[in-house]
Amino acid sequence: MEKILEVNHLTIDFNTFAGPVHAIRDVSFHLNKGETLAIVGESGSGKSVTMRTVMGLLATNAKIEAGEVKLEGKDILKKSEKELNAMRGNDVAMIFQDPMTSLDPTMTIGKQVAEPLRLHTKISQKAALKEAVRVLELVGIHDAARRLKDYPHQFSGGQRQRIVIAIAIINHPKVLIADEPTTALDVTIQAQIIHLLQEIQHKIDTAIIFITHDLGVVAGIADRVAVMYAGKIIESGDVDEVFYNPQHPYTWGLLEAMPTLETKRDRLYAIPGTPPDLLDPPKGDAFAPRNRYAMKIDTEQEPPFFQVSQTHYAATWLLAPGAPTVELPPEIVRRRKIWAQKHPSQEAAK
Amino acid sequence: MIKYILKRIGYLILTLFLVASITFFLMKLLPGTPFNNPKLTHDQIALLNKQYGLDKPLWVQFFQYIVGIAHGDFGQSYQYVGEPVSTLIATRVGPSLQLGAQAMVVGTILGILLGAIAAIRKNTWVDSVATIFAILGRSIPSFVFAALLQFFVAYKWGLFPVALWENGFSSSVLPTIALAMAPLANTARFMRTEMVDVLNSDYIELARSKGDAKWQAVAWHALRNSMIPIVTIIGPMAVDLMSGSMVVENIFAIPGIGEQFVKSITTNDYPVIMGLTIMYCFMLTVVILIVDILYGFIDPRIRLTGEAN
């Protein structure tokens, strides 16, 4: 498959009064043409910072220490501001988290939706507005022609997110970054928006990076999943591999904490402790202090990536040759069973 | 919209009536009399009181005064014998309005620019210079600026007339600058604060992610949104300007209503004081009305109901 986006060894520090915060620590991933990659992790794990780097929109106190971000083979970290302006909203577009605050309250939505077209193509205002109507209808704003002159406050939250999506897709970007696009919406609207994103991906043939902390959403939309913790990707693989054959104890914790129809316990599992302070990341595996399966080596040395399959990698010492076999949490045992049913041959090979 | 404006004009008249009543009674409470020349005899003072109707009971005086105002008659000046207050104001309001409008326009436009630049260059030397400038503009009274401008720009460098109202526009330049400093500083401070917020907002990030360059995001999205609170302070700034004009007009010897107001107070010229108070009040309420209408144009969220769709 053709890689459209490739992030290699990205390392970013934020300069603060207390010192540099190591927000992104050696992150590598790629995105294939037309696929959906979900990046999962709790708040502060570096999902959004990574995506802002891809957009070239990092805060001024962020410092890229190392790495490259290649869009169609060209490193965007080496691009000039002018080249970045030409890229944003054209090759790469972004959908933001909160539709209530991401539209300009004093500009008509017609103008806002048409703006990316006006910026990146030589098109008249009239033609751009016509296209805006088409895209607004595509994202499900009814009677769009009549509503072009309306302002954001005249739309509901769900409708506003549709408008934000229209803005993002009007130039048919090759990469669409959706930064928790459903977090601020209620559940029924969430489902609609996710369905809409899938439909649009099909229609305009774009690759989507879907940032979320909601694993339930991921299962329904993603082709591949990358799990982030404390500024690092700790496990990545096809969606089935991560969901049914997870390897990293943090991924186990996330899956345990997700209620399913099979959940019998009254109390939902929660991963104990809090994420580490990235001003001074712990030695070894950053998850070790919260990890009930942690071994001595976890507190001494950072685990490398171990390959589980062609597509599946996880950074945990549990995969090292000679590591002890641990007793898995019941939820993971259940999931591994489903995995075994789906892939009888692989399981036999182990 | 028209209904709304009519309603507001109704309130405006009510406000003016209340202000007229309050000033009328306050005048009566003032110690002293307009006829305080020691050469006047007792009989002469009684005669003058009779001539101006000051011998009648208070409520009769009040009634006559209000009826007069309703007919556009603000009485006659005590200090300029035989001169109706309305003509006195009419001949003097021009320079004051010109100065006030010029100072307002110059002050807000430069203030918006200064505040916007400070916000865009936040935490750089540009921001510090703008902040110091705004603090100085806000804390140094207009009469100090007036005197400094007169001394340096007019007297030392001879660029503009020192005082008086005889050289057309060039006479208005220095008083306008002196008056504009406060609104400029005020606007700049508000603009900077608001713009810093707006530049951190999600919709500016969205604008950047559309491909807007930084200046495009500022020009098309940030400026208009940052100006909303500026509209709010136009009213209070107009009050500042009016009181500032009384001092500045005196310093530059400009025949405006501010200068007249001060002169009338020192001579206990009641009808002129009351007429000018009502005049100031009228101008202020009109400014506030305009501001409220302006609001709707800048911020669609508070566009008056009934107008949408």
Residue B307, pLDDT score: 46
pLDDT at residue B308 in the model: 42
Residue A211 and residue A78 share a domain:
yes
Task: Please list every residue in chain A whose beta carbon sits closer than 8 Å to the beta carbon of residue B203.
Answer: 101-105
- Tell me whether residue A240 is in a domain: yes
Q: Which has more confidence, A261 or A133? A: A133
Region A291-296: what's the mean pLDDT? 82
In a domain, A339, yes or no: yes
Cross-chain Cβ contact B300/A104 below 8 Å = no
If asked whether residues A108 and A9 sit together in one domain, one would say no
Number of domains chain A is built from: 2
Residue in B205, B210, B220 closest to A167 by CB: B210
* CA nearest neighbour of B99 among B107, B110, B90: B107
> Contact at 8 Å (CB) between A232 and A315?
yes
Q: Is the pLDDT reported for residue A319 higher than 50?
A: yes
pLDDT of residue A233: 92
Same domain as A185, residue A315: yes
Q: Are residues A314 and A254 in the same domain?
A: yes
A123 in any annotated domain:
yes
Whole-model pTM? 0.80
* Mean pLDDT value across residues A120-124: 88
- Greatest Cα pair distance, chain A, in angstroms, is 68
Q: Percent helix, strand, coil in chain A (nearest 5)? A: 40, 20, 40
Contact (CB<8Å) B203/A93: no
Half-sphere CA count of A33, side-chain side, radius 13 A: 7
Beta carbons of A312 and A224 less than 8 angstroms apart: no
Residues A137 and A180 in one domain: no
Per-residue pLDDT band at A226 (split at 50, 70, 90): very high
A97 located within any domain: no
Asked if the model's pLDDT at residue A184 lies above 60, the reply is yes
Terminal C-alpha separation, chain B: 13
| Chain A residue at shortest CA distance from B225 | A106
- Pairing type for strands A92-95 and A175-179 reads parallel
Q: Say if A319 falls within a structural domain.
A: yes
Please write down the long-range contacts of A338-343, taking CB distance under 8 Å and 24 or more positions apart: A338/A244, A339/A240, A339/A244, A339/A245, A342/A240, A342/A244
Same domain as A183, residue A158: no
What is the domain range of residue A113?
103-172
A96 found inside a domain: no
Residue A266 in any domain: the answer is yes
Q: What pLDDT, on the 0 to 100 scale, is given for residue B6? A: 85
Q: Which residue of B has its CA nearest to A151?
A: B300
Whether chain B has a CB inside 8 Å of the CB on A299: the answer is no
| pLDDT > 90: percent of chain A | 24
Answer yes or no: do A108 and A36 share one domain. no
| Sign (positive or negative) of CA dihedral A119, A123, A127, A133 | negative
For residue A197, being part of any structural domain is answered with no
Query: Residue A75: which CATH number?
Result: 3.40.50.300
Interchain contact, B301 vs A103, CB within 8 Å: no
- Res B306: pLDDT: 47
Same domain, A4 and A86: yes
Strand partners, A178: A95, A210
Encoded amino acid at B302, one letter = I
A102 to chain B: which residues are within 8 Å by CB? Answer: 202-203, 205-206
Chosen for mutation from A94, A102, A122, A161 (greatest number of chain B CBs closer than 10 Å) is A102
Q: Are residues A41 and A112 in the same domain?
A: no
- pLDDT score for A22: 87
Task: Give residue B309's pLDDT.
Answer: 37
* Cβ atoms A331, A264 nearer than 8 A: no
Give yes or no for a contact between B111 and B138, defined as CB atoms under 8 angstroms apart. Answer: no
Identify whether residues A75 and A130 lie together within a single domain. Answer: no
Q: Which residues of A82-102 are buried (b: 16+ CB within 10 A; e: fewer)?
A: eebbbbbbbbbbbbbbbbbbb
Domain identity same for A107 and A71: no
The amino acid at A132: A
pLDDT by residue, tens only, chain B of 309 residues: 777 788 888 888 888 888 888 888 887 777 666 666 677 777 777 777 777 767 777 787 788 778 877 777 777 777 777 778 777 777 777 778 888 888 888 989 999 999 889 888 888 898 889 888 888 888 888 788 878 877 776 677 766 676 677 766 667 777 888 888 888 888 888 999 999 999 888 899 899 899 888 888 888 888 888 888 888 888 778 877 877 778 888 887 778 787 788 888 887 777 788 888 888 888 888 888 888 888 777 777 776 554 443
- How far apart are the CA of A145 and the nearest CA of chain B, in angstroms? 14
Which of B211, B220, B308 lies at the smallest CB-CB distance from A88? B211
Q: What is the set of domains in chain B, with CATH numbers?
A: 93-266 (1.10.3720.10)
Instruction: Give residue B213's Cα distance to chain centre.
Output: 39
- Measure CB to CB from residue A89 to each of B211, B224, B308 and give the nearest one: B211
A interface test, pick of B206, B208, B224, B302 with most A CB neighbours within 10 Å: B206
> What is the interface pTM, i.e. ipTM, of the complex?
0.84
Geometric angle at alpha carbon A193, from B212 and A94, rounded to 5°: 20
Q: Are residues A116 and A251 in the same domain?
A: no
Mutate to test the interface with B, among A54, A104, A163 (most CBs of B within 10 A): A104
